[in-house]
Structure 1
Amino acid sequence: MLYLFAPLPLTLPSAIGGAIAYRKEHLIYWRIALLTSLWGFPGVLLGAWITEFLPGTILMLLTAGFILSVGVYGLSGLRNRSLPETKVQLHEAIIPYWSPLLGLINGLLANGGGLLLVPLYQLGIGLGLRAALATSLATVTLMAIPSTIIHAFLGHIDWELTGWLAVGVFPSTYLGSKLALHLPGLMLSRLYSAFLIVLALYFGYTEIASVIK
């Protein structure tokens, strides 16, 4: 389980690096990010508490399935539908209904919740793809703080492993976000989705193989 939660503290500097790149383009909707974080916090607490009763293998497989579903969604074409980067009327009223679920996933799978935030912000609230990506990074930055504190208190984080992973996280995320600003939206979405699918399949295969042995 330590390998699952070790990257969690890195969510904060990683998300900050990406958010800085997007902030200069004025793509971050801070009100939406703040509301999502506030409504999602109870879910973070509940999700972290549930991990105490679930075997690590189940959590790892749930994570793989979750990542796979997001990757498939990205390649399905829904994510690439033509939406403007700004929209006059945004549907913020759905935030209190969906944020607790996102917080639960955040606390349970220690993924920051960003993978689900993008489709919520794009398809649910009405942001454009790049604005959804930018705002999701800002939200992850806010939600990662309580999530990291809780899992550290529960003893789920290997700080030595986290230290090794930390090398290069901030600059790589910053550069990745800068690159994303210049890639065509369709190419960006497909590359990201394909990467998630490959990652999920590898993740699931290695976990199942370890159980069979």
Structure 2
Amino acid sequence: MEWGFLAAGLFVGIMVGMTGVGGGSLMTPILIFGFGIQPVIAVGTDLLFAAITKAGGIWAYWRHSVVVWPVVVKLAAGSIPATLLTLWYLSQAGIEDGSHNELITNALGVALILTSSALLLKNWLGGILQARAGHPIVNALYKLREDEQHKTLATIITGAVIGVMVTLSSVGAGALGAVALLFLYPRMKGVEIVATDIAHAVPLTAVAGLGHSAVGTVNWELLGWLLMGSLPGIYIGSHLGVRIPDKLMRTVLAIILIAVGVKCLL
């Protein structure tokens, strides 16, 4: 079984290295459906797995000064309190005994479908907004991001929604955060979007993962095997990614996530 966990970590690491997304989206379903791990244990372990594997990204982006820290703070102002409240609810509900596996699985299904939709529809939605410029609803959306107070509030609310989703399912900090930032902060460069999203995802998943650990829903031995596979996998994937079209990989990944998300909800 340990070699299976090592292989799973290697596979997910390669996918993350190739596409930049897919860590929580792939790892949690693999643990639940592939290895029969209790859903809440899979989520708790995967949260710390995500925090550790992405931590190196913060350092690299910080050195290049492409992290927009004020936006990270605004997202965290919503996500961290929401995460702590969700963790409190889970501990009060006795989540560690497995009695709420259905809640976790359903949350995972919804998060996977939303994440895959964000991957598939990101460019299409942007085109729709540009084509419908002048429509009252589109004008209201554009006005939202032009007003600093409204944009700040929207960013905090976005962080709160992501915080709840990530704590329940370990999914959502990557693709959903990036899509929200693309809309709210259109003047940010692509690399700034990625860097800021990762800079927010690491502390969020770390807090959520440590909270899961406090209620006994992290398998530390499992985490070790996954990391031993994922760290070299990310290195391999980053080299393979330059040879495979990014659009193709993201489309394949999105289709897989939709299928798994539907399975979680059935």
TM-score, L = length of structure 1: 0.73
1:124 maps to 184
Where in structure 1 are there 5+ consecutive unaligned residues? Answer: 83-88
Which one of the candidate residues 54, 58, 65 is aligned to 2:106? 58
TM-fit CA distance, 1:137: 0.5
For residues 148-181 of structure 1, the C-alpha deviation after alignment (integer angstroms, 9 at most, x for no partner) is 111112222222221111114345547767998x
- Please say if residues 15 and 173 of structure 1, whose CA atoms lie closer than 8 Å, have aligned partners that are also in contact: no
Which one of the candidate residues 166, 170, 175 is aligned to 2:227? 166
* Cα distance change on mapping 1:32 and 1:75 into 2, 3 Å: closer
Where in structure 2 are there 5+ consecutive unaligned residues? Answer: 1-38, 131-145
Distance 1:59 1:198 in 2: 18
Distance 1:28 1:175 in 2: 25
1:20 aligns with 2:59: yes
- Please say if residues 37 and 143 of structure 1, whose CA atoms lie closer than 8 Å, have aligned partners that are also in contact: yes
Which one of the candidate residues 102, 107, 114 is aligned to 2:174? 114
TM-fit CA distance, 1:37: 1.3
* Cα distance change on mapping 1:179 and 1:74 into 2, 3 Å: farther
- Please say if residues 111 and 165 of structure 2, whose CA atoms lie closer than 8 Å, have aligned partners that are also in contact: no
Which one of the candidate residues 142, 147, 150 is aligned to 2:211? 150
* Cα distance change on mapping 1:138 and 1:193 into 2, 3 Å: same
Q: Which amino acid aligns with 1:14?
A: T
* Cα distance change on mapping 1:61 and 1:39 into 2, 3 Å: closer
* Cα distance change on mapping 1:18 and 1:36 into 2, 3 Å: same
SS of the counterpart of 1:155?
A: coil
Q: Alpha carbon RMSD of aligned pairs, Å?
A: 3.5
Distance 2:172 2:110 in 1: 15
- Please say if residues 35 and 95 of structure 1, whose CA atoms lie closer than 8 Å, have aligned partners that are also in contact: yes
Structure number with greater Rg is: 2
Higher share in helix: 2
Q: Which amino acid aligns with 2:189?
A: G
2:30 maps to none
Number of equivalenced pairs: 198
TM-fit CA distance, 1:105: 1.4
* % identical aligned pairs: 19
TM-fit CA distance, 1:21: 3.1
TM-score, L = length of structure 2: 0.61
- Please say if residues 105 and 264 of structure 2, whose CA atoms lie closer than 8 Å, have aligned partners that are also in contact: yes
1:9 maps to 48
Distance 1:43 1:66 in 2: 19
- Please say if residues 40 and 101 of structure 1, whose CA atoms lie closer than 8 Å, have aligned partners that are also in contact: yes
Q: Which amino acid aligns with 1:10?
A: F
Q: Which amino acid aligns with 1:17?
A: G
- Please say if residues 5 and 110 of structure 1, whose CA atoms lie closer than 8 Å, have aligned partners that are also in contact: yes
Q: Which amino acid aligns with 1:3?
A: A
1:104 maps to 164
* Cα distance change on mapping 1:174 and 1:62 into 2, 3 Å: same
